[in-house]
């Protein structure tokens, strides 16, 4: 249920502040303020999704671009111990793929919100708010945040 106008919604997303301004907290604050109820880190689901919205049969992952290899400018590779990092990253990427596939298999809908779309120079929090609402109020199976709005 969405009780706010789009204007209020975008206002909320960009204004959500507090002690903890991690992107995950922004998303949780926005969901809560807009009447979406969720559970956190359900251990019984593949990948222990950050946010679970049972009513919408949806899960949301808020991914750090570095660890989850978004491919944006934050997706750097440390100079030292390069092989270690590359192996680590490739593990992370395959684990993410596996978890998302398993969730979809169990009829969960999955949205990935990338950190760079909420924090940093290229952040578009208002757009992300719209994308979350769009995703939750649709039958979309998979979506990613960002200016290159992708969904299947
Ligand atoms: Zn990114």
pLDDT tens track for 55-81: 999 999 999 999 999 999 999 999 999
3 C-alpha vs ligand 1 centroid, how far in Å? 30
* pLDDT given for residue 3 in this prediction: 54
pLDDT tens digits along 99-121: 999 999 999 999 999 999 999 88
In the chain, where does DSSP find H-type helix?
6-15, 23-33, 65-68, 82-105, 125-136
In a domain, 88, yes or no: yes
Domain region containing 46: 6-151
CATH number at residue 59: 3.40.960.10
The Å distance, Cα 14 to ligand 1 centre, comes to: 18
Is residue 38 included in any domain, yes or no?
yes
Query: What is the whole-number distance in angstroms between the Cα of residue 42 and the centre of ligand 1?
Result: 25
Ligand 1 centroid–CA 120 distance in Å is 10
Cα of 44 from ligand 1 centre, angstroms:
28
How many structural domains compose the chain? 1
pTM, entire model = 0.84
């Amino acid at each position: 249920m969405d009780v706010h106008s789009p204007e209020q919604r975008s206002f909320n997303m960009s204004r959500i502040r507090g002690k903890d301004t991690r992107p995950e907290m922004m998303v949780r604050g926005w969901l809560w303020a807009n009447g979406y109820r969720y559970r956190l880190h359900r251990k019984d689901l593949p990948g222990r999704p950050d946010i679970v919205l049972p009513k919408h049969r949806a899960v949301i992952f808020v991914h750090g671009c570095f660890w989850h290899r978004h491919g944006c400018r934050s997706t750097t590779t440390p100079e030292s111990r390069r092989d270690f990092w590359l192996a680590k990253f490739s593990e992370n990427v395959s684990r993410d793929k596996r978890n998302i596939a398993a969730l979809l298999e169990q009829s969960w809908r999955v949205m990935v919100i990338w950190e760079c779309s909420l924090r940093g120079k290229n952040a578009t929090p208002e757009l992300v708010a719209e994308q979350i609402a769009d995703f939750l109020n649709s039958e979309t199976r998979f979506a990613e945040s960002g200016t290159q709005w992708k969904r299947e």
